[in-house]
Structure 1
């Protein structure tokens, strides 16, 4: 099954630290503004202006300062985002929150917009869903206070609401909170539709695209096992990508894989294979046959054909497993973890279809690479010895099986400890093998 890359979820302490930093930054920005006001006031004193005139002129003279600073902070945030300067961008967005509060107060939709942009930054740029949820909820509370909505601001207000609910949806998805994720993303979808009607189906300058939203909905439906809905959303995303970028766009690879994953979970193996073939053909065309991308889609195809359980697909499964392994070895080398994982997948399938000797040779040839990569005493090494031992046992080679299982036991004991279930079960198997004539006689001679 395909998995999304994990997103780091911060602890409560790191969450508090960020909130403290935000409060500190807001206080600092307000202090800077007041200091500048005082400096300007002192300068006018030295020029001999009358006190009443100075007091009346001060608010008007200082008024442009926060607006100018806000505009500058917004421009710098956009610049740092484009340059992938994550922490600098985040600092500028925090300044935007502080300055927006100074200018508009606590109950204006533009403050909600500043919080929404900050929340989106924490999620997309830094992968911190807890902070994203906190600031998106702050934005939502402001929007729900019954603020007045000028007609000329409706477009930006709707866009802000889309950003808020999309951010909440993705953040909850990252925390495996499928129900909250789905509800937030559905709200974002309805708001997006309203915004499209307002803008005539063309939305300019919105942080969240229609493609982003439907992919997110597909992911959250997949997480909740709503496979039909997931397929529908992913197919909609495919249509959008093809319309805007063509039918060979790299982004289609992942989308076809997601659709295939949903179809496999529905046991629709034929449809899953069809989508994976499309993904693989794009990989080969864009990245060549001996590439990591082609290796990955080839491995998925091998597993998809194997999952059918049909004898007629054995040849296709073996072909794609082999092609994938060759591509991994060419692109990454024999000792890379992805190469070794492909060998493990391939060998297990070979054992499953009764090609024991082929699986044994594959594992034996890779054993040195496994030890060099993971170490002598590692789970991967123990697993390899276990599979090789099982093959020998199935072939009736009791002595070889005993030796391999014994090696496996030594590693399992070191890795898991003697009281763990795995070494206990392995010891029971070894005790049973010791009763066989071949092993018993060899052990007697050794002693």
Structure 2
């Protein structure tokens, strides 16, 4: 098994030879082989195989999600030795189905960024160009799948942290509706916006993982043609030229395949997100993180927010936590932010209920540019201009995250320089099963 070739769940579940324990052992070896990419913080020391439909299938888990048999570091020094002794709900359900956790993956420190340039545990490098970022904050999970170490890896997504690395690395990234995959038992940012998700090589694998975690079977595809909304204002503005060309070709393929593309607008989506997205995060992390620390069984339960902040290694993360600790976002500011979030959700609902008839999903480029060079933590290049890295990368994934929408990023194509571009589909909250069915149909057309 090549540790550089992405593989599906079925390719691991039905190997050409050898028992399931040998498949898991090979995955553990492969995890060590890709350490030059910074993918893993911890790797299992032995192969353990469970019973069930995923018996012998290895998986990786982002190191801000609790696992019974590994530390959960959050990618930050203060939690480097923290052992919660429990599984996140999604991890537990997948283990019950027989999956084997082969390691915990590297991430942007405390999941508060999109480059995975972690100053404490080292950067996560792009699998196709090691001088570039793999994206974040679930960068290690993306690399674990893109290099074929595992067929799927869990991540978390607050503002795009599953979909951004999926887009950069040419994978499927699934963000469920907030709460669908359980909450708690993971280092938090925002209970309003956080959700666990998964990175895979196919939509079918993402749907299978969703079914196992939730117990809900996938929705059947409908015979009628798909109607996808194209929110050009804001979501298609100021794309880098290579991304714009890949997206143009992808939309042409969808139209040629019978998809009805309908121009629509999510009114003031980016303005409303700017008004409420960060205030919600800064207010909630100052409360949610101490609550998580207090729930830990080890000495970390005595840590304060200030203790964690004092030991943060990444400058951008330190700046974000200092703002959260400052008390600038008080209760009144937070309440106004939640009111703005309600208006944002209304704007999405209006866009989906188009005057010509309801839309199945919105479609847009996941990220306005390709994977930036490692080290472009503050600004990066967009067609010869320096632009803010973080705000540019999350420009399209941020609004729907704030509104609590489920979304999935699919590979849209490859630029002339060999870098992947992602296409996102987004639907109304709780429309997860239908959205995954839509994504499978879109994936077939894009292939």
State the TM-score, normalized to the length of structure 2.
0.24
User: Which one scores higher on RCO, CA 8 angstroms, separation ≥ 6?
Assistant: 2
Structure with max Cα Rg: 1
When you count helix as a share of all residues, which structure comes out higher? 1
State the TM-score, normalized to the length of structure 1.
0.24
